[in-house]
């Protein structure tokens, strides 16, 4: 089958012929319907994070189950699934405590080593092992993932559109409703209006936030944010976003979501907070980046900084729920999808994303 293989920073993205093996016990094989191109994938391409290579890229996608391994009970052949990039083990301390987004096996083995639970991979090419990316690797025609990484969803949902629930929407809506648990009537600001930031806007709308301030440097993205529920928009290329938010909220916001994750935006998110405010780090910086804050000011104003991984969601519960919200018209997904390309055009999709020309591009296997 064809897959997009990453071999190292600065090397061109290859469309390669990759062998995919049968699922082992507890694993399922999925034929990919669509895969979303996420900003985190750009970090991979730039070499911002240390990952084992070669690997099949992609961590957002949807598809149809074509085979199941021994002992699989929650997913069956023919099921429509959204892929989860925290395919939780269900057995570690955090999984048992009901916090699968904090799965220790995923954090310590699956993600850093580019493997499945048993420490091996199901991809190969010409005798060479090819690694998984976050247990998903959706830039491929077919994948093998742990059972918990393939979440069954209703069959009347358009399978390509809901692929973005697997990363952008789960991360953004989850950050608002699960990580921060924003209360009705709160003032919310979000820095960055890509797929995750726009999902934060929609989560804040679901939470009945009183004020939803969207911040970006591109007018086109701010237009989309307005359509998705932002009450105010701030063009950070024209004005100081910190001053603008402090003015709009009369002193600072209750919640600020950094959906970009640069050192500057993280520091801005803290400067935008009012008394008792909470900054939520959702976007991801390169490994090793360090932001500064003044502990005295944080303590005196009773403020909090929260990290949000995968929106602190319970994938099994929240992914089907987010699909339901979309089917009921309570969240919009089509507005966030700026285009569709065949899988082999992954390189061009990344160029669009890096240049700010795209929100979410879907890659469709031919
Ligand atoms: Zn992502
Ligand atoms: Zn676990």
Of the pLDDT bands very low, low, confident and very high (cuts 50, 70, 90), residue 13 is confident
Query: By three-state DSSP, how is residue 91 classified?
Result: coil
* Cβ(291)–Cβ(267) below 8 Å: yes
Query: By three-state DSSP, how is residue 44 classified?
Result: helix
Tokens of 236: 């950070």
Closest by CA to 347, choosing from 45, 21, 98, is: 45
- 187-191/55-56 β-pairing: unpaired
pLDDT of residue 50: 87
Residue carrying structure tokens 């009537």: 185
Average pLDDT over residues 93-99: 95
CATH of domain 2-166+332-364: 3.90.180.10
Looking at all shown ligands, the one closest to residue 95's CA atom is: 2
How much is the mean pLDDT over the chain? 96
- Give catalytic status of residue 59 as yes or no: yes
Given a cut of 90, whether residue 10 has pLDDT beyond it is: no
Looking at all shown ligands, the one closest to residue 90's CA atom is: 2
- Of 89, 92, 103, 167, the active-site residue reads 167
**CA 167 – ligand 1 centroid, Å:** 5
Given a cut of 90, whether residue 94 has pLDDT beyond it is: yes
Taking only the tens place, the pLDDT of each residue in 48-64 is 888 999 999 999 999 99
Instruction: Tell me if domain 2-166+332-364 and domain 172-308 are identical in fold.
Output: no
**CA 16 – ligand 1 centroid, Å:** 22
**CA 101 – ligand 2 centroid, Å:** 8
Tokens of 109: 């083995």
**CA 300 – ligand 1 centroid, Å:** 35
Q: Which parts of 31-131 fold into alpha helices (H)?
A: 39-46, 93-96, 104-105, 111-113
Domain ranges of the chain: 2-166+332-364, 172-308
* Cβ(167)–Cβ(59) below 8 Å: yes
Given a cut of 90, whether residue 283 has pLDDT beyond it is: yes
Please tell me the distance from the alpha carbon of residue 318 to that of residue 295, in angstroms, as a whole number.
Answer: 35
- Give catalytic status of residue 43 as yes or no: yes
Closest by CA to 152, choosing from 63, 91, 68, 89, is: 63
Class of domain 172-308: alpha beta
First to last CA, the chain: 11
Q: Which residues pair with 78 in a beta bridge?
A: none
Given a cut of 90, whether residue 21 has pLDDT beyond it is: yes
Looking at all shown ligands, the one closest to residue 166's CA atom is: 1
Please tell me the distance from the alpha carbon of residue 68 to that of residue 147, in angstroms, as a whole number.
Answer: 8
Please tell me the distance from the alpha carbon of residue 141 to that of residue 288, in angstroms, as a whole number.
Answer: 34
The larger pLDDT score, comparing residue 358 to residue 179, is at 179
Taking only the tens place, the pLDDT of each residue in 109-150 is 999 999 999 999 999 998 999 999 999 999 999 999 999 999
**CA 208 – ligand 1 centroid, Å:** 25
pLDDT of residue 292: 95
**CA 168 – ligand 1 centroid, Å:** 6
pLDDT of residue 12: 83
- Of 16, 39, 59, 338, the active-site residue reads 59
Beta strands in the chain (DSSP E): 2-6, 14-17, 19-20, 27-36, 55-56, 61-68, 80-83, 123-125, 128-130, 142-146, 150-152, 187-191, 211-216, 232-235, 253-258, 273-281, 304-307, 337-342, 360-364
pLDDT of residue 339: 94
Q: Tell me, what DSSP letter sits at residue 148? A: G
pTM exceeding the 0.85 threshold for the entire prediction: yes
pLDDT of residue 196: 96
Average pLDDT over residues 292-302: 96
Given a cut of 90, whether residue 11 has pLDDT beyond it is: no
Please tell me the distance from the alpha carbon of residue 76 to that of residue 67, in angstroms, as a whole number.
Answer: 8
Which residues keep their CB under 5 angstroms from ion ligand 1? 38, 40, 167
Of the pLDDT bands very low, low, confident and very high (cuts 50, 70, 90), residue 260 is very high
Closest by CA to 150, choosing from 69, 218, 231, is: 69
Please tell me the distance from the alpha carbon of residue 15 to that of residue 214, in angstroms, as a whole number.
Answer: 37
Burial environment of residue 296 by CB neighbours within 10 A (0 to 12, 13 to 18, 19 or more) = exposed
Given a cut of 90, whether residue 73 has pLDDT beyond it is: yes
Longest dimension (CA), the chain: 62
pLDDT of residue 356: 84
- Helices 39-46 and 346-354 sit at what angle, rounded to 10 degrees? 100
- Give catalytic status of residue 103 as yes or no: no
Burial environment of residue 290 by CB neighbours within 10 A (0 to 12, 13 to 18, 19 or more) = exposed
**CA 317 – ligand 2 centroid, Å:** 16
pLDDT of residue 225: 98
- Give catalytic status of residue 148 as yes or no: no
Of the pLDDT bands very low, low, confident and very high (cuts 50, 70, 90), residue 355 is confident
């Amino acid at each position: 089958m064809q897959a997009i293989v990453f071999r190292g920073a600065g090397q061109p993205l290859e469309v390669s012929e990759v062998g995919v093996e049968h699922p082992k016990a507890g694993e399922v094989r999925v034929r990919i319907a669509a895969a979303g191109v996420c900003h985190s994938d750009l970090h991979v391409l730039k070499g911002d994070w240390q990952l084992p290579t070669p690997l099949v890229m992609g961590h957002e996608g949807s598809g149809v189950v074509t085979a199941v391994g021994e002992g699989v009970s929650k997913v069956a052949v023919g099921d429509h699934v959204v892929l989860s990039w925290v395919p939780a083990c269900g057995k570690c301390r955090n999984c048992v405590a009901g916090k699968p987004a904090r799965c220790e096996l995923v954090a310590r083995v699956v993600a850093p080593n580019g493997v499945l639970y048993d420490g091996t991979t199901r991809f190969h090419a010409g005798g060479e092992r090819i690694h998984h990316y976050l247990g998903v690797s959706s830039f491929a025609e077919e994948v093998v993932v742990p059972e918990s990484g393939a979440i069954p969803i209703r069959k009347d949902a358009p399978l390509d559109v809901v692929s973005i629930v697997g990363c952008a929407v789960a991360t953004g809506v989850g950050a608002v409703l699960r990580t921060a648990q924003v209360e009705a009537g709160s003032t919310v600001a979000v820095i960055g209006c890509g797929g995750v930031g726009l999902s934060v806007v929609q989560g804040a709308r679901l939470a009945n936030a009183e004020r939803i301030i969207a911040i970006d440097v591109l007018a086109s993205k701010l237009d989309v944010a307005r359509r998705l529920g932002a009450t105010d928009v701030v063009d950070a290329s024209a004005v100081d976003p910190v001053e603008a938010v402090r003015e709009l909220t009369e002193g600072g916001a209750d919640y600020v979501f950094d959906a970009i994750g640069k050192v500057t935006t993280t520091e801005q998110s803290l400067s935008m907070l009012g008394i008792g405010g909470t900054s939520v780090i959702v976007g991801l910086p390169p490994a090793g980046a360090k932001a500064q804050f003044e502990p005295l000011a944080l303590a005196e104003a009773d403020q909090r900084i929260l990290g949000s991984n995968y929106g602190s969601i319970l994938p099994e519960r929240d992914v089907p729920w987010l699909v339901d919200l979309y089917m009921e018209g309570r969240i919009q997904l089509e507005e966030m999808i700026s285009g569709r390309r065949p899988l082999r055009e992954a390189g061009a999709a990344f160029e669009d994303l890096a240049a700010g020309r795209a929100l979410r591009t879907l890659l469709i296997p031919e």
